Amino acid sequence: MSYEPFDAVDVIRTKRDREELTKEQIDWVIDAYTRGVVADEQMSALAMAIFLNGMSATEIQQWTQAMINSGERLDFSSIVGAGKKIATSDKHSTGGVGDKITLPLAPLVAVYNVAVPQLSGRGLGHTGGTLDKLESIPGWQAYLSNERTLEILSDEGAVICAAGSGLAPADKKLYALRDVTSTVEAIPLIASSIMSKKIAEGTDSLVLDVKVGSGAFMKDLDYAQELARTMVRLGTDAGVKTTALLTNMDTPLGLTVGNACEVEESVEVLAGGGPSDVVELTVALAREMLLSCGIDEDPAEALADGRAMDKWRTMISAQGGDPDAALPQARETHTVYATDSGVLTRLDALSVGVASWRLGAGRARKEDQVQAGAGIRLHAKPGDTVRAGEPLMTLMTDTPERFERALESLEDAYTIGKEYEPQPLILDKVSTEQQ
C-alpha cells in the first residue's frame, strides 16, 4: 500500500472546526479522492463541512488549482489566422430554463475572427444541457477527440462539443457526489467547479452568465454577486480575462423550453428573428466576448445580415449534423389554457423547468436518455395580455403518461393580474477591472 501523507478524517475535522485547510491538505485530498483513496462518504462529509463553514479566498484558489491539476490542460495557442494567433473566448452559464444562448452565440462571435471553444455538458435536473439540445439535430456528434476539436475550431471558428473526460476529472467525480448529497449550492464549490474546467480548457477570455432567480442555483442577487466576484477573481488570477453578467432567471428565456424546440428557436435568432429576450442576451454576451478580445463591434449586425447563420451551418455540418433536416417532434401534446383575463404578471422559471424535465426533456440520473421532442412552448410571457380560454402553453412528450406530473408542477406556475412591473434582463456586471 502506498504511503499517504494525510488522513481524510483529519482534513474533514479541520473544516468541520472552521479552520483553514493548508495547500498540502487540499492538494492531497483532491488527488487522493481522484485516485479513489478518499472514499465518497468522506468527500461527502468534507463537501458538507465546506457548504456549512465556507472557504477563504486562498482556500478556494488552491482547491481550484488542485482540481485543474487532476487532469489535462488544453492548448489553443496553435489557432492562427493570417499568420497571427487568434484569441479564444468562451461563455459559461450557471444554468437556467430555456437557456439556449450558446447555440446562436458561438457562431455569432466566430464571425468576428474570435475562436469559440464551447466544451459543454448535459442537463441534470430542471436546467437543460447544450449537448442534449444539439443532439436533436440528425447526425450531430457531441464527442470529438482533442485533435478534431482543434481542427474544427481552426476551420470554422467555433466548436460546441462534450468536455473530454481528461479535463478536471476531480470535478466530474465531486460534482456527481454533490448532486446526491445536497451540497451543490455552495459558492466555493460552484466557483471552483466551473473555473477549474474553464481554466484547464485554456481559453484566453471567459464571459460568465450568472443566473439569478427562481430557475437558478442563486435565488438572490447578493449571493449571485458574491459567486460572480469569486469566479472573476479566480479567472483573473489564472490569467484568463473574465467578465460576468448577472441575468434574470425568474422566468424562462424565450418561448421554448426543451431540446429540439430550443434548437428551432435558436435558428430563428440566427435568421434575424426570435424572441427579444433571447436576442438581447445573445448580443450582450457576444459584445462582452468581443470586448474581452479587444474588438469593438456591434454583433447585432452579423445576426441581421446572415453571417452568423452561415457560420452555424458550417459548424453543425463539421460535426456530422444536417442543418436542413427536420427536427424531431413529440408524438403527443397537451395545451394549458388561461383561466382568467388580464396581464400575465408571473411565469415561474423553476416550475416550467421541472415540468419540461418531467415531460422527458431532462434526466433524473446521468444514464437516462432524453426525448428530443419533449418540452414546452410558451404562448405568452410576463407582460403579455391574455384572455380566459386562450392557450398559455403547449406541453410536448412522446409518453403521455408524463402529462399528469408535469401539470402538477405547473399548478402555481403563473399569475394573471392587472399590473406588471417589467424586470431588466441584465442585472449587473462584474469584470476583471473591478477586482
Catalytic positions are: 92, 171, 178, 193, 197
Of residues 47, 55, 150, 194, which one binds ligand URA by CB under 6 A? 194
By CB under 6 A, is residue 159 in contact with ligand URA? no
Tell which one of 71, 95, 96, 375 touches ligand URA (CB under 6 A).
95
Which residue's CB comes closest to ligand URA?
Answer: 193
Query: How many CB atoms are closer than 10 A to CB 38?
Result: 22
Closer residue to ligand URA, CB minimum distance, 116 or 163: 163
What is the C-alpha to C-alpha distance for residues 252 and 346, in angstroms, rounded to an integer? Answer: 11
CA dist., res. 218 & res. 215, Å (int) = 8
Using CB under 6 A, which of 66, 68, 114, 190 touches ligand URA? 190
Cα separation, 294 vs 289, whole angstroms: 9
Closer residue to ligand URA in complex, CB, 151/226:
226
196 binds ligand URA (CB under 6 A): no
Among 52, 49, 62, CA closest to 10: 49
Q: C-alpha cell of 368?
A: 437516462
Q: Over the Cα atoms of the chain, what is R_g?
A: 22
Tell me how far apart the alpha carbons of residues 355 and 188 are, in angstroms, rounded to a whole number: 30
Q: How far apart are CA 107 and CA 428, in angstroms?
A: 25
One symbol per residue from 41 to 80: x for binding ligand URA (CB under 6 A), - otherwise; what is it? ----------------------------------------
What's the min distance (Å) between Cβ of 94 and ligand URA?
A: 6
Angle, to 10 degrees, between the axis of helix 8-16 and the axis of helix 40-53? 20
CA 19/CA 216 separation, integer angstroms: 30
Position 183 contacts ligand URA (CB under 6 A): no
Per CB under 6 A, the segment of 14-22, 189-197, 221-229, 250-258 that binds ligand URA is 189-197
Q: Is 115 helix (H, G, I), strand (E, B) or coil?
A: strand
Binds ligand URA by CB under 6 A, chosen from 120, 193, 259, 292: 193
- Quote the least distance from Cβ 221 to ligand URA, whole Å: 18
Amino acid at 87: A
Is 30 among the residues that bind ligand URA (CB under 6 A)? Answer: no
Contact positions vs ligand URA (CB under 6 A): 94-95, 175, 184, 189-190, 193-194
